[in-house]
Amino acid sequence: MTIDKLIEICNPLHVTNKDFDGEITTFAIDSREVKEGTVFIAIRGTQVDGHMFLEDAIGRGAKVIICEESYYTEADVCVIEVENTQKLAGPIAQAFAGNPAEQLKVIGITGTNGKTTTATLVYQVLCACGEKASLLGTVSKRILEEVLDSKLTTSDPIELANDMKTMVEAGSDYLVMEVSSHALDQDRVAGIDFEVAAFTNLSQDHLDYHENLDEYAKAKKILFDNLPESSTAVINADDVQGEFMLKDCKAGKSLLSFDNESAHILKNSSDGITIVVNEEKIESPLIGTFNAYNVGEAFLICRALGLDAKDIAAALSNAKGAAGRMEPVTVEGDNLPIVIVDYAHTPDALENVCSTLSSVKEANQTLTVIFGAGGDRDSSKRPKMAKAAAEFADKIIVTSDNPRTENPDLIIADILDGFEVLDNVKSITDRRQAIQQAIADANGNEIILIAGKGHEDYQEVDGKRHHFDDREIARESLTQKAGGGN
């Protein structure tokens, strides 16, 4: 990267000491990552103002500073003053990585629920159709078939650009990625031209971050506002916010609606769904009406990419979706309960999953729901989650999710406030104990839903993460029960 190229991308208000002595090596948004020759960009964050770290960055060897203030330093450093640093981090990161986004067909999926499921389905269809695809999201990163850990749903612009570079080098043609509202609000995907962008739905979550639902919806809309005309917006038109997402969108539109009967659900049972979208019949092993939306959107996304309808439908009939979403935990044995692990951690998701299980259960079966709510996150969703579970469950165990830095019993108390009657509600703070007890007490006619943590293999308590996997604990308890002959 040359200083002239960098200045061109920045469209600066002011530049000083452009002819500094030295070379540009890397790009950093965090002063702690700065090395000799780094370009450091100061971003005003949610916790601190990156402008506080200009001296720190220079001390560590930064040669160029990009900031929103006129800044004077005696050091031999180029200072580029710009209007908005946050919006520039993406384009600069892309340029440093050799503009990998331009060499990928990028598919972005946003919405409160269903991003991971839909993104995973699209990735699975692309792979089944012989395409070279990568995936970024909550559960993991997949560079072609290689699986790597994922820390955030949508990474920061530098990590994102570096991941894209690795994908391009590995021969990937497509990137399917989840785009969170935090990422949109913080411009983490600025400068990326999406080939297809999809909206799943909007319901309450993250009100600790976004001021209210309107602000949350506006953040999601950014993805569609920035689409080029040549791209396609795939929208769940049955969601009340679907129309809003398209308000300022120049892209082509592909709408999914079961309500206006442009698409149909032919079958919705415990062994899967059959839907018709654009006259194509699609069968999927995923269950529940909410998954009809995920499968339907995955189909429309793949159609927008130009894949053959029959090939997509064939691939979807084998696509299992994402780990930890309606994932059954099975063990050989008699009279064992059906145990399902799911990632529902919002009122809407919990309602959808509970209503689905309640509608597919047999007359003699009962539904037990074990759930909690995350600490240091939107606390107003807690009583609403209680209401969602109470509507469909026969028995409820309220427990801890990831308390993070909060007192788990106070989170549980917030949830308990949402129940009108507590007759079938128990609380067991220790999640392991809650799962063990539910399974030990259950008979073969019970369906036990363990909600909230899905694929997570940790629990964060007192700010520390410990290994914890709902599926592992459930499997151990079921094995013990099977061995005991109960």
In whole angstroms, give the CA distance from residue 89 to residue 50: 13
Q: Which helix (H) or strand (E) holds 246?
A: helix 242-246
Paired tokens of 251:
């892209």
- For 85, half-sphere exposure in the C-beta direction (CA atoms, 13 angstrom radius) is 22
Looking at 249-257, 295-303, 327-335, 449-457, which segment touches ligand API (CB under 6 A)?
Answer: 449-457
DSSP string, 295-315: HHHHHHHHHHTT--HHHHHHH
For residue 178, state whether it binds ligand API (rule: CB under 6 A): no
Strands 327-329 and 338-342: antiparallel
Residue whose C-alpha is closest to residue 326's, from 299, 298, 290: 290
Position 452 contacts ligand API (CB under 6 A): yes
**Phi and psi torsions of 479, nearest 5°:** -65, -45
Applying CB under 6 A, which part among 218-226, 245-253, 277-285, 339-347 lies near ligand ATP?
339-347
Residue 68 binding ligand API, by CB under 6 A: no
Residue type, 240: V
Would you say 180 is a known binding-site residue?
A: yes
Instruction: Report the residue number, 110 or 356, with the smaller CB distance to ligand UAG.
Output: 110
Question: Does position 115 bind ligand API by CB under 6 A?
Answer: no
The only residue of 107, 353, 370, 415 in contact with ligand ATP, by rule CB under 6 A? 353
Residue 186 known to bind ligand: yes
Read off the tokens for 42: 């100061």
* Distance of alpha carbon 153 from alpha carbon 149, whole angstroms: 11
Classify each residue of 250-259 as buried b or exposed e, where b means 16 or more C-beta atoms within 10 Å of its C-beta: ebeebbbbbe
> What residues from 105 to 134 belong to the interface with Mg ion (CB under 5 A)?
115-116
Handedness of CA 10, 153, 322, 286 (dihedral sign): negative
Question: With binding defined as CB under 6 A, does residue 86 bind ligand ATP?
Answer: no
User: How far apart, in whole angstroms, are the C-alpha atoms of residue 115 and residue 277?
Assistant: 19
Q: Name the DSSP letter for residue 78.
A: E
Q: Is residue 90 at the binding interface for ligand ATP, with CB under 6 A as the rule?
A: no
Residue 115 annotated as lining a ligand binding site: yes
Q: Does 241 bind ligand ATP (CB under 6 A)?
A: no
Three-point CA angle 301, 305, 308, nearest 5°: 95
Q: In the bound complex, what is the minimum distance in angstroms from residue 50's beta carbon to ligand UAG?
A: 3
Least distance from C-beta 288 to ligand ATP, angstroms? 8
Structure tokens at 180: 């969170």
Q: Which residues of 161-189 are buried (b: 16+ CB within 10 A; e: fewer)?
A: bebbbbbbeeebebbbbbbbbbbbbbbbb
Q: How far is the CB of 410 from ligand ATP (least distance, A)?
A: 23
Between 47 and 364, whose beta carbon lies closer to ligand UAG?
A: 47
DSSP label at residue 44:
B
Minimum CB–partner distance for residue 39 and Mg ion (Å): 31
328 marked as part of a ligand binding site: no
Compare residues 153 and 231 and give the one whose CB is closer to ligand API. 153
Binding residue per annotation — 140? no
11 burial via Cβ count (<10 Å: 0-12, 13-18, 19+): exposed
Helix or strand or coil: residue 115? helix
Residues 396-435, interacting with ligand API (CB under 6 A):
401-402
Using CB under 6 A as the binding rule, whether residue 181 contacts ligand ATP is answered as no
Which of 115, 221, 303, 377 is the binder for ligand API (CB under 6 A)? 377
The binder of 221, among Mg ion, ligand UAG, ligand ATP, none, by C-beta within 5 to 8 A per type, is none
Question: Residue 450 CB, nearest distance to ligand ATP (Å)?
Answer: 11
Q: What is the token pair recorded at 61?
A: 């060897």
User: Do the annotations mark residue 200 as ligand-binding?
Assistant: no
Q: Which span (8-16, 108-116, 369-377, 428-436) binds ligand ATP, by CB under 6 A? A: 108-116
Q: Which of 221, 382, 453, 481 contacts ligand API by CB under 6 A?
A: 453
- Report the binding-site residues: 31, 111-117, 153-154, 180, 186, 188, 377, 401-404, 452, 456
Contact residues for Mg ion, defined by CB under 5 A = 115-116, 138, 153, 178
Contact residues for ligand ATP, defined by CB under 6 A = 111, 113-117, 138, 153, 178, 200-201, 290, 293-294, 322, 325, 342-344, 348-349, 352-353, 454
- Report the binding-site residues for meso-2,6-diaminopimelate: 377, 401-404, 452, 456
